[in-house]
Structure 1
Amino acid sequence: MVRLTIDVIAKSRNHFKKKRGLSFPEYLKTLTHLHFSSKNIEDIGDLSMCRNLTVLYLYDNQITHICNLGFASNLTHLYMQNNNITHIDNLFNLQKLSKLYLGGNRIAVVEGLENLCELKELHLENQRLAPGEKLLLDPRTLLSVAESLCVLNINNNNIDDIRDLTVLKELQRFSAADNRLNNMEELEDVFSHWPQLLQMDLSGNPVCKKPKYRDRLITACKSLVVLNGREINELTRQFLINWKASKEAKKKKINKHMITGPLIPYPLTNNFNMGQGPHPGHSYSKANMQRWYPQQSLRSSIIVHTDLR
């Protein structure tokens, strides 16, 4: 098993370039970037001497769990994509972490990010999940990063519901390509809560086959600049917004007319001495109709009663 330790760093020609007058321990204290991608690393050992580490590259390895990073309180970028990680653990001390790359692992539930109040980018694409399994995002984790997260990538994770993502009001870039999103109304509602959204990719989802899906998403996301890799023309956006507003106004007018419009009352008589009026559905002679409604035109279907004394 290859374990990343201080000794491994010391043996690496790419890292230990001894500065004049500095011992190796002193050099480690000045180290800010650590590059150990594609080294068959399976575990992270004690790196606490690298107390000023800000960027750690560990992608394309065989790491199964995140550990021994509690010392890295200055870490801002963590690259651990394409490993064998199944759970997001032991990140609670990384309160300055800004970018987290965990794509291509085996994560089924996104959690454990509650202390990452400065997290701006979260990359979770292409998790290697069991058949029929989909990536789940813990609502508590989402709420904890809602005020900071600007970029979210959840491509190709069998996701069919994103309503829990509504709280991410600061999102500017959202990628959810090659999932199972199909509910247009749900998407419109979620996106209407993201006023900062500039770029979005939903390509490869069933919803993209629905009529006018692009037009509907453009009107739902008024700040959107790029959708599925295609730029949005501002004139087109304004036309669609105006068209939608006009359509909704017309619909409201029709509904209002249906509620407050004229009603046809049950035929009544204003002569209480005449007895029962005509029975609906029967045919009557002109004389009978004049006997029941002597003061009304036979052509009128609406009877106005002015005197019921």
Structure 2
Amino acid sequence: MVRLTIDLIAKSRNHFKKKRGLSFPDYLKTLTHLHFSSKNIEDIGDLSMCRNLTVLYLYDNQITHICNLGFASNLTHLYMQNNNITHLDNLTNLQKLSKLYLGGNRIVVVEGLEKLCELKELHLENQRLAPGEKLLFDPRTLLSLAESLCVLNISNNNIDDIRDLTVLKELQHFSAADNKLHNMEELEDEFSHWLQLLRMDLSGNPVCKKPKYRDRLITVCKSLEVLDGREINELTRQFLINWKASKEAKKKKNIKHMRTGPLIPYPLTSDFNMGQGPHPGHVHSHANVQRWKPQQSLRAPKLQIPVCGLLSHMAVSSPICSHVDA
């Protein structure tokens, strides 16, 4: 088993030979970049003497878990893609970490990043998952990254739902290609929260085959510059936004018309009480109208009156109109 230790660094010509004027302990204190990619490393030993380490390259190895990095409080870049990592452990002391590369591992749940408040890039593409598994996110981790994360790559991880990612309001670059995203309406709602989004890649998802897929996302993501590798023309975006606004306005107008319908001034009835007082539709003064007392109440026969002729019929049949002084 190959283990990354101080002794392994001492044997590396790529490092110590560059600063021959320094003693080895002093050299380790000045070391900021450590390159040990593709060395068949399976474990990380004690590197605490490298207290000023800022960039660590450990990609393309056989590392199964992250350990012994608690000393690296100045670390800003960690490259550990294409290893055998299954869990995200022992990262709480890396509070200055800005970029974390973990693609091509065996991670199922993204967790344990609650202390990484300065993390701007998180790369998790191409996890080697068991059949039926998909990449999941701990809500606590997402919430802790909401104000800092700008770049997220989760391509090819069997993901069919990204609603939990809505809290990442500072995202500028988002890649979720070759997953199983299919619900267009959900995506429109989620992307409407990402006001800073500039580049997005959803190619290879079932949703890409939906009608007007590209047009609909362009109108929702108003800051988007590149979608699925293709630049967005600003004139095209403005046309689509105006078209959508016009379509929605027309739809609202039709719904309102259907709800209100044609107005009928008075309720229809086939029974007219001849002894009733003046109809509300007629206005008369006391001087011009004689007091009329019906001798008997007559019930008119039932009539079939069209709506359009209702007012004229009522005017003719009202007893008040026949008792007005000349």
Equivalences, count: 292
Change (3 A) 1:143 1:91: same
| Structure 1 equivalent of residue 308 of structure 2 | 300
* Deviation (angstroms), 1:255: 1.5
Shift of 1:273: 6.1
Contact 1:170 1:194 in 2 (8 A): yes
1:138-177 equivalences in 2 (<5 Å): 138-177=138-177
> Is 1:269 matched with 2:270?
yes
Moved more, 232-241 or 256-265: 256-265
Shift in alpha-carbon separation, 1:39–1:242, aligned structure 2, 3 A: same
**In the alignment, what sits opposite 1:120?**
120
Matches within 5 A, 1:206-217: 206-217=206-217
Deviation track 1:129-170 (CA, whole Å, cap 9, x = no partner) reads 000100001111001001000000000000000000000000
Q: 1:119 Cα deviation (Å)?
A: 0.3
Q: 1:269 to 1:81 in 2, by over 3 A?
A: same
Q: Is the 8 A contact 2:60 2:81 kept in 1?
A: yes
Helix, strand or coil at the partner of 1:247: helix
User: 1:157-191: per-residue Cα shift (whole Å, max 9, x none)?
Assistant: 00000000000000000000000000000000010
Task: Give the residue type in structure 1 aligned to 2:153.
Answer: N
Please give the per-residue CA displacement for 1:60-94, whole angstroms capped at 9, x wherever unaligned. Answer: 00000000000000000000000000000000000
TM-superposed CA distance for 1:18, in Å, is: 5.3
Unaligned ranges ≥5, structure 2? 276-299, 321-326
Bigger Cα Rg: 2
CA distance in structure 2 between the aligned counterparts of 1:220 and 1:301, rounded to whole angstroms: 52
Between the aligned partners of 2:51 and 2:190, the Cα distance in structure 1 is 41
* RMSD between aligned residues: 2.3
Deviation at 1:262, TM superposition (A): 2.1
1:68-217 to structure 2, matched below 5 A, reads 68-217=68-217
Q: Distance in 2 between matches of 1:301 and 1:169?
A: 62
The change in CA–CA distance for 1:93 and 1:273 in structure 2 (over 3 A counts) is: same
In structure 2, what is the Cα distance between the partners aligned to 1:114 and 1:148?
12
User: Could you tell me which residue of structure 1 aligns to residue 42 of structure 2?
Assistant: 42
Contact 1:10 1:16 in 2 (8 A): yes
For residue 225 of structure 1, what is the amino acid of its counterpart? E
Task: Tell me how far 1:267 sits from its aligned partner.
Answer: 3.7
Distance 1:136 1:302 in 2: 68
What's the CA shift for 1:253? 1.2
**Range with greater deviation from structure 2 (20-29 or 121-130):** 20-29
Contact kept, 8 Å, 2:63 with 2:84, in 1: the verdict is: yes
Structure 1 position 260, deviation (Å): 2.5
TM-score (norm 2): 0.85
The 8 Å contact of residues 271 and 301 in structure 2, kept in 1 or not, is answered as no
TM-score (norm 1): 0.89
For the 8 Å contact 1:91–1:113, the answer to whether it is kept is yes
Q: Counterparts of 1:21 and 1:39 in 2: how far apart (Å)?
A: 27
1:252 deviates by 1.2
Aligned to 2:259: 259
User: Is the Cα–Cα contact under 8 Å of residues 117 and 148 in structure 2 kept in the other structure?
Assistant: yes
Matched residue type, 1:258: M
